[in-house]
Every structure is written in structure tokens, then in C-alpha cells.
Amino acid sequence: MKLADHAGAVLARLAVDDARIFVLDGDLADSDGAIHFAERHPGRFLMAGIAEQGMISTAAGMAAVGARPCVFSFSAFLCYRGYDQIRVCLSQAEQPVILVGSHAGGLSGRNGKTHAAPNDLALMLSLPGIRVWAPADFADVEFALEQSMRNPMPTYIRLPRKQFALGENLRGNAAAIRWIRPKRPLTIVSTGLATRWAEAVAERLSETGMDVGVLHCLELAPQSGLGRQLEGVQQLISLEDHCCFGGLGALLAQHCPGVPLRCFGWPANFVGKSGADEEVLEYYGLSTQKLAQRIALASTAVDRA
Amino acid sequence: MEGICAIPSRQRIEILSRELAPAALSAEAALLRREIVIALYHASGGHYGGCLSVIDILLALYRCELHVSPDEPHDPERDRLILSKGHSALALYAVLHRLGFWRESLNCYADFVSPLEGHPDMTSVPGVDFSTGSLGQGLSVGVGMALGLRAGDQRVWVVLGDGECQEGQVWEAAMLAASCSLDNLHAIVDCNRLQEWGRRARAADSAPEPVPDQAAKWRSFGWHVIECNGHDFMELLTAFDAAKATRGKPSVILANTVKGRGVPLIELQPVRFHCDSVSEAEHAAILAGMDDYEAC
């Protein structure tokens, strides 16, 4: 089950007690999770056509008259096709529309590069007043949606294409920031799907005697607690299903000045690629084995310095 | 910078009768045209042409059609108006100012310390129902408002430019509005037949229309189409009535206008005055020309 499917189901549940909730979809409901809302609340669902720009502005108009619209599509089509509409109708006009982007990040399966969104965070984090969530499990999805409904502001929820077994959650309770493994001098900070990668890498490194902390950052913006949580850490590794520019790594550099930081994610020349997740991750150095090697090397380099 | 404070008194807009409206509106429109050109001069220039072509449409809507109140600019029961051609912000500001939504002078338009943003800003100006400026988005916003308000009596009016209708999103919205049978949504296109620079046809009388065959296009998208003279108040009011009487589909009024209407110097140079600045002498000539125009 994709996390986006869970998002549609959670919204359907929340909508039972909140008549303001409405879902718009850009004709991908069976792929982006909106179908679970549509089936339960057909009168509060609109297939707005393959027209993402219009759909986002339409949602903003609904929000301006009191609704709580949620817009579903693939992240690439929301963030790239609809960026000016997000800029004007959501960010500048301060309208509490929730964008639910499925297929976020660099892993787009057979769809390939046109459907990948490896720099969506750079776009969304640089817009003022947008709340940004990157869930890694089902509990995160519920937490993000419930919090977003309580605090109306423009919101972007980025969700990966990857399927998980229902209930396959990370350890600990969902929160804006969650320690997956206790804080250590060397700590990996990750977000979204990459926290799954971080968990596996930390496990692999521990088998070699290297103990690293893992902090999962669910809420990327607004950001207030990251620096405080990481006090005492001697070296930071950022790991994200995003290009190494303008995403979590940039946030860490801003909030943890002076702490040595190495950023891991998609390289600057990555535009997306068709293929199985494992093949793509291996090629770009983001498989568990390669990440473990790269992080161990980075740690050694800092030790020498 | 802080937003403008709405006027606290229980002031309400006087809805004019159809019989008295045209003459009263003509006199008021002349006053607003003068305020617009003076404010633009203070702002060191701006969109003269489009403000002057759309002002009669906006004034007629606010004076005779919209159920809004300067006393309660956020009343959820009010009608909504979106000026999608946001570069004519000063025309909207002039009407809102005239109706008492706020008191500050229009002459602070686009100043750094002014809440009167260069394009309409709903976060700082009472009476502005949605922020616009990046062309093509307003009709979609109107679709969303009409969807959200369809259970009530409110109507949503969206004013577009004919050049703006080159934006693809306008037609995304047109398609969606028709598929949703939004008869509480009314578009008005300010058809002044010019845009900033056009397709290299610099002479106004030979410039191709920004979007040819607008009526056929809107009809083919499932809209009811009404055409009128956008400077004739009786025709405008009749068109508003026809739009409201339309059932089961959205309606569009193609209002034929003149860019720079009411200012001879600008009417003669509409391409230059899409957005330009004037010298002190030209400003004086503009005002003098308006005196003569009104005297006629």
C-alpha cells in the first residue's frame, strides 16, 4: 500500500466529522490515493481534469470561501506544472489548501524522468508560508494530515511511490521530529522515504561496530526544533530522496552552523530515470551498501580533520 | 507595513435604480478616471489603458450589482469579485475607495509604505476578494468560489482582459466551470482589443485581436455568451441581468471597450499607454483633455 492511499483513507475518515473537507484530483485518483476519498464521499470529490494549474487555483478559491480543499496528483505535476499557482494563490494569498503529492522524489519506477520530482522540496521550501511534510510511514501520514487540518495554512505533503505493508511503521510515535535511533556523535538526519534508507544504513553500520544516530524530520517547514534536537552532535549526515541542493541538507546547514555536514541525496545531474528502485539507488550510490561505505568514509575524513 | 483599516461606521453601498443609474454612473466614472490618472502620475506611471477601459464595468458592478458592504468586507454572505486582469488594480482600488472600504489616498498606490500593492492584494486591502496579478488564474479561483458557494445565493464575478485570455489556464477554468454547470459564475471580458505589445502590429487599428472569435470560443466551451458595449451603463446592467438569468451553465459578458477610454491623449496612443509614464506637461495635457471630454 502506498502512503498516498493511506492519505486518501485518512482524509475520508476526517471528513466524516469535518464538512469543510473537499478533495480535488487531476485524473490520477486510482494512483495517487484520492480514490479512497472519492468512493466514500463522492459529493465532496471533484475530478478537476488533467489541468493541474486550474485545479490548484480552483482549490484556492474554495479555501477563500471557507472550505478545506485537498489537491491530489503526482508531486511532479503539482510542484512543477502548478508552481506559479502555488506561489500566487497559496503562498501570497495565504490560502489553506493541502497539496498531497504522490510519487515524490527520484524513484518513479517505469514512469521515468518526466514523473520524478527530485527537487520538489527546493521549490516548496523556498516559498514563504508553506508548511511542508515528508512522511516516512503510515503514522506520519495521519499525524501530518491531522495537524494540517488543525492549523490552516498552505501545505504540501510529499509522499513516495513505494509500497509498504499496511501498518509497517518506523519505531516510536509520529512527531514533527522523531529519533529513530538515539542521538550519537555521528547522526544521520533524514526525511521522507530516505528515513527508511537511513534506518537500514544505520543497522548495517552497527554490524561493523559503528554506532550512528538517526533523526527523522517529518515536518520540514516551518522549522524550529532541528538545531535544538541536534545539540552535541559532532558530525551530521543529511540523507534525502531529493537532490543535494535546497532540501534537508540546506536546512541543516542553516540550523546547525558549525557542525560538519555531508549531504547525501540525488546528484546534481540527476533528472530521474526509469527502472527498479534498487537498480536506480545502486547506480546513484544510494543503496544501503553504498551509503554505508560513503558514510563510513565521510566519518573517517572528519576524524582525520 | 500594515493593512488598511476598514471604515468602522455602518456604511452601506447605495444600490442605484436602473432608471437613475446611467447618468449617475457616468458622472462618477468621470471622477474616478480623474483619480486614476492622478494616482498613476504620483506612482510615476502604470497601466493607464486597461484601468480606463475597465473602470465602467467595475463601477457598474459595485454600484448596481454586487451585494457587498464596506462595513463588512469579509461577510461570508457577500458576492465575490475577482479582478483577474490584476494590472488594472488601480481601477478596482478607485472603486473600493469611492465606496468607502478605506480612506487612505489612492495617491500612495504602489508606494513602499502603502498597503495598495501594485496588483490586487487580498491580504492588505479590504474589499479585494482575491489576490491577482499573474494573468490567467482568476477564473479558476472563481470556479472554486462558485463551487464553494453554490448552495447559497451568492454570485461570483470574474473580470478578465482579452489579452489575458491567451493564457491556457483560462480555458482550463472555462471547461471545468461548464462541466460543473456553475450558473452562479459570471465572467466579464474587458475586450479592449489590445495587449501590451501584441504581435508586432504596432498600429492600434491594424493590430490583430488578442483572442479572435471569443464568442465562438466561449460558446464551444459550454458558456452562455452575452455581448455589450462596456462603456454603456444601460447595456452593462442589462447584460448583468441576462447573465444572472442564465440557468445550468456559466455566463460570460464580452464587454467591448476602448483602451484609455475618457482620455483623448491615451485613446490616441493605446499601445504606448498599456503601461507607461508621462511628463509633467503630458499629465497636465491629460487632465485638460479630460475636462474637454467631459464637457462634450
Q: Counting one residue from A and one from B, how many pairs have CB atoms under 8 Å apart?
A: 99
A7/A127 same-domain check: yes
Shortest Cα distance, chain B CAs vs residue A81, angstroms: 11
Q: Do residues A231 and A146 share a domain? A: no
Domain boundary (A158, A187, A207) is at A158
Beta carbons of A160 and A193 less than 8 angstroms apart: yes
The span from the CA of A54 to the CA of A49, in Å, is 9
| B151 half-sphere exposure, CB direction, 13 A CA radius | 8
Window from A36-40, A206-210, A223-227, B129-133 with minimum mean pLDDT: A223-227
Residues of chain A with pLDDT > 70, as a percent, come to: 99
Q: Per DSSP, what are the bridge partners of residue B229?
A: B256
Instruction: List the end-to-end C-alpha distance of chain B, in Å, as a whole number.
Output: 43
Residue A61: name the closest of B33, B157, B290 by CA. Answer: B157
Q: CA-to-CA distance for A238 and A247, rounded, in angstroms? A: 9
ipTM of the complex: 0.94
Q: Cα–chain-centroid distance for residue B168?
A: 20
With CB atoms and an 8 Å threshold, state whether B147 touches A58: yes
Q: Taking residues A246-266, what's their average pLDDT?
A: 97
Q: Are residues A115 and A244 in the same domain?
A: no
Q: Supply the range of the domain harboring residue A115.
A: 3-158
Residue A99, beta-bridge partner list: A71, A156
Determine the residue type at A56.
I
Please give the pLDDT value at position A14.
98
Residue A63, chain B, CB below 8 Å: the answer is yes
3-class SS letters over chain A: CEHHHHHHHHHHHHHHHCCCEEEEECCCHHHHCCHHHHHHCHHHEEECCCCHHHHHHHHHHHHHCCCEEEEEEEHHHHHHHCHHHHHHHHHHCCCCCEEEEECCECCCHHHCHHHCECCHHHHHHCCCCCEEECCCCHHHHHHHHHHHHHCCCCEEEECCCCECCCCCCCCCCCCCEEEEECCCCEEEEEECCHHHHHHHHHHHHHHCCCCCEEEEECEEECCCCHHHHCCCCCEEEEEEEEECCCCHHHHHHHHCCCCCEEEEEECCCCCCCCCCHHHHHHHCCCCHHHHHHHHHHHHHHHHHC
CB B118 within 8 A of CB A33: no
Question: What is the tens place of the pLDDT at every residue in B232-272?
Answer: 999 999 999 999 999 999 999 999 999 999 999 999 999 89
Decide if A78 contacts A28 (C-beta within 8 A). no
Of B132, B148, B175, the CB nearest to A62: B148
**Which residue's entry shows cell 460570460?**
B252
Inter-chain CB proximity A67 and B176 less than 8 Å: no
| Predicted local distance difference test score (pLDDT) of residue B131 | 98
Q: What is the pLDDT of residue B9?
A: 36
- Determine the distance from the C-alpha atom of residue B75 to the mean position of all C-alpha atoms in its chain, rounded to a whole number: 21
Query: Do A14 and A151 fall within a single domain?
Result: yes
CATH code assigned at A183 = 3.40.50.920
Would you state the pLDDT for residue B94? 98
Architecture of domain B22-295: 3-Layer(aba) Sandwich (3.40)
Is A46 a domain residue? yes
Tens digit of each residue's pLDDT (9 = 90 or more) over A114-168: 999 999 999 999 999 999 999 999 999 999 999 999 999 999 999 999 999 988 9
pLDDT of residue B3: 47
pLDDT at B2: 43
What's the pLDDT band for B11 if we cut at 50, 70, 90? Answer: very low
Predicted pLDDT at A199: 98
Q: Is residue A171 part of a domain?
A: no
A281: phi then psi, degrees, rounded to nearest 5: -65, -40
Average pLDDT over residues B268-281: 92
Q: Best mutation site among A20, A24, A58, A68 for testing chain B: the one with the most B CBs within 10 Å?
A: A58
Which of A64, A88, A94 is facing B137, going by the closest CB pair? A88
Q: Is residue A18 part of a domain?
A: yes
Q: Which residues in chain A have Cβ-Cβ distances shorter than 8 Å to B179?
A: 49
Count of domains in chain A? 2
CA angle at residue A26 from A143 to A40, to 5 degrees?
Answer: 55
Q: Domain check: are A152 and A7 in the same one?
A: yes
Co-location of A197 and A153 in the same domain: no
| Residue A167, pLDDT score | 85
Q: What is the pLDDT of residue B22?
A: 87
Q: What is the arithmetic mean of pLDDT over A230-243?
A: 97
- Based on the domain organization, do A285 and A230 belong to the same domain? yes
> Which phi and psi (to 5°) does residue A79 adopt?
-75, -35
In a domain, A164, yes or no: no
CA distance A230 to A248: 14
- The structural domains of chain B, with segments of one domain joined by +, span 22-295
Mean pLDDT on B176-203: 88
Contact by Cβ (8 Å): B256, B229: yes
Are residues A117 and A10 part of one domain?
yes
The per-residue pLDDT of chain A, averaged, comes to 97
Which residue in the set A51, A66, A84 is minimally distant from B148, CB to CB? A66
CATH number of the domain enclosing A106: 3.40.50.970
pLDDT computed for residue B208 by the predictor: 81
Cross-strand bridge partners of residue A190? A216, A239
Query: Cis bond leading into B208, ω under 30°?
Result: no
Q: Which of A184, A253, A191, A194 is nearest to A216 (CA)?
A: A191
Going by the DSSP 8-state scheme, the letter that residue B46 receives in this structure is: B
The pLDDT > 70 percentage for chain B reads 91
What count of Cα atoms within 13 Å lies in the side-chain half-sphere of residue B288? 6
In this predicted structure, the answer to whether residue A224 has a pLDDT above a threshold of 60 is: yes
Distance CA A16, CA A42 (A): 12
Q: What is the CA radius of gyration of chain A?
A: 19
Residues A191, A137 within the same domain: no
Minimal CA separation from B6 to chain A, in Å: 19
Q: What is the pLDDT of residue B198?
A: 78
Q: What is the pLDDT of residue B10?
A: 35
Does residue A190 sit within a domain? yes
Contact by Cβ (8 Å): A180, A229: no
Q: Which residues on B lie below 8 Å from A59 (Cβ)? A: 144
What gap in Å lies between CA A22 and CA A37, rounded to an integer?
9
Are B176 and A93 within 8 A, CB to CB?
A: no
H-helix or E-strand spanning residue B256: strand B251-256
Count of other CB atoms within 10 angstroms of residue B21: 20
* pLDDT over 90 percentage in chain A: 96
Give the integer Cα–Cα distance in Å for B197 and B207: 10
The 3-state DSSP composition of chain B as helix, strand, coil percent (nearest 5) reads: 45, 10, 45
Cell of A146: 491531522
Q: Which residues pair with A263 in a beta bridge?
A: A238
Same domain membership, residue A268 and residue A206: yes
Give the residue carrying C-alpha cell 464553494.
B148
Q: Which residues contact B272 (CB under 8 A, 6 or more apart)?
A: none
Do A61 and A100 lie in a common domain? yes
Asked whether the predicted pLDDT for residue A60 surpasses 50, the reply is yes
B142 touches chain A (CB under 8 A): yes
**More reliable by pLDDT, B293 or B191:** B191
Q: Do the chains contact at A54 and B130, CB–CB below 8 Å?
A: no
Sequence letter at residue B156: V
**Mean pLDDT within B65-92:** 97
**Whether residue B6 has pLDDT greater than 60:** no
User: Any residues with CB less than 8 A from the CB of A258 and at least 6 apart, and which?
Assistant: none
pLDDT recorded at residue A173: 96
pLDDT beyond 70 at B1: no
Beta sheet of A131-133, edge-to-edge order: A45-47, A21-25, A68-74, A98-102, A155-158, A131-133, A219-221
Instruction: For chain A, give the longest Cα–Cα distance.
Output: 63
Q: Are residues A195 and A147 in the same domain?
A: no
Q: Provide the pLDDT for residue B16.
A: 67
Residue A166 domain flag: no
